[in-house]
Amino acid sequence: MSEMRVGYAKVPSFYAAVERLDDPGLRARPVLVGGNPDKGGKVQSATHEALEAGVEVGMLCERALALCPGAALCPTNMKRYRELSVLLQTSLRQVTEGIEGDGLAGAYFDIAAGSDHDDDEEDERTFARRMVKAVREDLGLGLRVGVAPVKFLARLAAEESDDDGFRFVANDQVAAFLSVLSPERLPGVGVKTRATLASLKIQTVEQLLKLDPREVENHLGAHGRRILGYARGEDEARIRTAAHRKTLSHEVTFEEPVVKRSAIEPRLAELCQTAEAGLRQQQLCASRVAIKLRYGAGKPETRSRKLVRPIVDAAEIYSAAKRLLDRTEVGQRPVTLLGVALAGLAPPAEIEATAQLDLFS
């Protein structure tokens, strides 16, 4: 009997991998991506050599460089990472149409295991190799793929993949797979939950499951019941697949607040050009444009508008975005974040027939 399984694919250490891709001279060195060490910058990504040296994502870059003195520290380049993310999603969709993106570097996908063969793992391994091959040939990046009965297990399987970048976890393997892992690998286990489990001397999922459920709930409340469910391999989350992206967004954070509109507009134009590249890569149009702003350390604010007709050109996106700027306090208050988002994305054939002509010429 066939069963539905979930796949997860991810480029490990994505930011660092992109930096190595763009600069072959970095391939022989550990790579860190993060902020200025002199300003308290933190590590956002690190290659496996740096991780093995004790570096952790979120650690101060100054500390990371002390642990891994031979590492190259690259400044964060979100524009480039987003460009590669769009290409990654496109490459994955060449292998399987329906995927659910997970951040910039990963995606979930459904697998209908309708094979007549007993060796389902080999079928999935072949499928994974197609994905790995597509991403390597299209982008020059490595990929890890995991297949398991539910979403979070598929992600963990990819993280625990073997030398060829694949890990298969069948229904009857779930308990053994989870038993040796640290509970902090489970969804929902943050700093407080981790501290509570440590106080109970819980180091593995197997040890967690040996506790009386009432004791777990005593310490963690209803959240404890959810954690126990994950420890048993249960996950009700379903994949929200789509043949194409419904939204596309790009943003930039300024190290120093920007007040002058004349300094904001060129960055806005760059974001619009990146957005156009994403639309053209996936052959989509947008019917709504939005901008996102943050003043100082406040909460982000957005302004949006529905378009009279779908657009794809950067000049048209920029024109709409500039009109939205008129509805903000740009030029009067310091801006620390600027973003552009496109929504209502669809192929030309799905929108207005009159708007199809010459969009991709």
Q: Tell me, what's the pLDDT at 116? A: 39
Q: Residue 184 — very low, low, confident or very high, per pLDDT cuts 50/70/90?
A: very high
Q: Which pLDDT tens digit goes with each residue over 92-132?
A: 887 887 788 888 999 998 876 333 334 467 788 888 888 99
Q: Tell me, what's the pLDDT at 79? A: 82
CB neighbours of 227 closer than 8 A, spacing ≥ 6? 183, 186, 188, 189, 193, 208, 216, 220
DSSP state of 332: T
- In angstroms, the first-to-last Cα distance of the chain is 48
Mean of pLDDT values over 271-276: 93
Q: State yes or no: pLDDT of 279 exceeds 80.
A: yes
Full set of structural domains in the chain with CATH: 1-152 (3.40.1170.60), 180-231 (1.10.150.20), 247-355 (3.30.1490.100)
Mean of pLDDT values over 14-36: 95
Assign 3-state DSSP to the chain and report helix, strand, coil percentages, each to 5: 45, 25, 30
Q: State yes or no: pLDDT of 256 exceeds 50.
A: yes
Q: Tell me, what's the pLDDT at 350? A: 62
Q: Tell me, what's the pLDDT at 358? A: 47
Q: Hunting for tokens 């992206």 — which residue is that?
A: 245
Instruction: Give Dmax over CA atoms of the chain in angstroms.
Output: 67
Mean of pLDDT values over 78-88: 85
The answer to whether 63 and 46 are in contact (CB under 8 A) is: no
